[in-house]
């Protein structure tokens, strides 16, 4: 899984490992965080390894897929949580910030999805990540939401292109989730206001999102294909 050293990625890794899945935790710049996730998985009796790579570079990601196949004999599930977010009104956003989001969120998803499409066996699953902001249309999120809209389009079309392969392709779109990245730079008042917006009147947790991924990755999700699953407590 890509982005496995992040708050949501780490929770997904631990949840899938709890189901008996051997997990490859990809990271780009967070080696220490990735190793911490590996330690938490193995401490709970699971199997995990951390491997580096630039998500937007086909050669590096192909080598990561090769390493996973050599170590575990194959790849059954690909979860693509890697992504970055830069916020600013569209009229004020620096083009470099938008380009970086596009490189990671769009090109990176394309690279990983292409490799998954070529390598996943029958019964396999690809799970990409979008965001509920594509529905919320919040000011300041235009550049970020644009990259995630591209992820949704790419994912849903790929599901149709893999007709006859018995491989499911879906996207999980989290709402506001209590991760360090979300909390950073926000006041307690801002966080409370965002939490109150959902009918369940709380923020999501990384574990909430991990449950959605585990469903799509497991036998219960085999009839879910070509969909965007909004895991957001009803906020949108």
Tens-level pLDDT at each residue, the chain (236 residues): 898 888 999 999 999 999 999 999 999 887 999 999 999 999 999 999 999 999 999 999 999 999 999 999 999 999 999 999 999 999 999 999 999 999 999 999 999 999 999 999 999 999 999 999 999 988 999 999 999 999 999 999 999 999 999 999 999 999 999 887 777 778 889 899 989 989 999 999 999 999 999 999 999 999 999 999 999 999 97
192: left (phi over 0), alpha (psi -120 to 50) or beta: alpha
**What does pTM read for this prediction?**
0.95
Q: Tell me which residue of 15, 29, 35, 156 sits closest to 77, measured CA to CA.
A: 15
Q: Rg of the Cα trace of the chain?
A: 17
Question: Is 25 in contact with 49 (CB distance < 8 Å)?
Answer: yes
CA-CA distance, 80 to 125, in Å (whole number)?
A: 11
Question: Is 90 in contact with 137 (CB distance < 8 Å)?
Answer: no
Helix, coil or strand: residue 170: strand
* CATH pick for 71-231 out of 3.40.50.720, 3.30.470.20, 3.40.50.800, 3.30.565.10: 3.40.50.720
What are the extents of the domains in the chain? 71-231
Q: Tell me which residue of 56, 46, 205, 42 sits closest to 26, measured CA to CA.
A: 56
Which DSSP symbol is given to 13?
H
Catalytic machinery residues: 144
């Amino acid at each position: 899984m890509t982005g496995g050293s992040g708050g949501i990625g780490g929770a997904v890794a631990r949840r899938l490992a709890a189901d008996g899945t051997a997990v490859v935790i990809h990271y780009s710049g967070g080696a220490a965080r990735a190793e911490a996730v590996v330690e938490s998985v193995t401490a709970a009796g699971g199997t995990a390894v951390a491997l580096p790579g630039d998500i937007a570079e086909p050669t590096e990601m192909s080598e990561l897929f090769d390493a996973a196949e050599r170590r575990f004999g194959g790849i059954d599930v690909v979860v693509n949580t890697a992504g970055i977010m830069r916020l600013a009104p569209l009229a004020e956003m620096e083009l470099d910030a938008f380009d970086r989001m596009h490189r990671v969120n769009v090109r990176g998803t394309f690279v990983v999805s292409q490799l998954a499409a070529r390598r996943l066996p029958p019964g396999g699953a690809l799970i990409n990540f979008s965001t509920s902001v594509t529905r919320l249309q919040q000011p300041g999120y235009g550049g970020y939401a644009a990259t995630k809209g591209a992820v949704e389009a790419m994912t849903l079309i790929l599901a149709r292109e893999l007709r006859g392969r018995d491989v499911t392709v879906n996207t999980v779109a989290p709402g506001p989730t209590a991760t360090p990245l979300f909390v950073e730079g926000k006041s307690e008042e801002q966080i409370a206001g965002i939490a109150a917006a959902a009918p369940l009147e709380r923020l999501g947790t990384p574990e909430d999102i991990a449950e959605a991924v585990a469903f799509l990755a497991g036998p219960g999700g085999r009839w879910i294909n070509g969909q965007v699953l909004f895991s957001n407590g009803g906020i949108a």
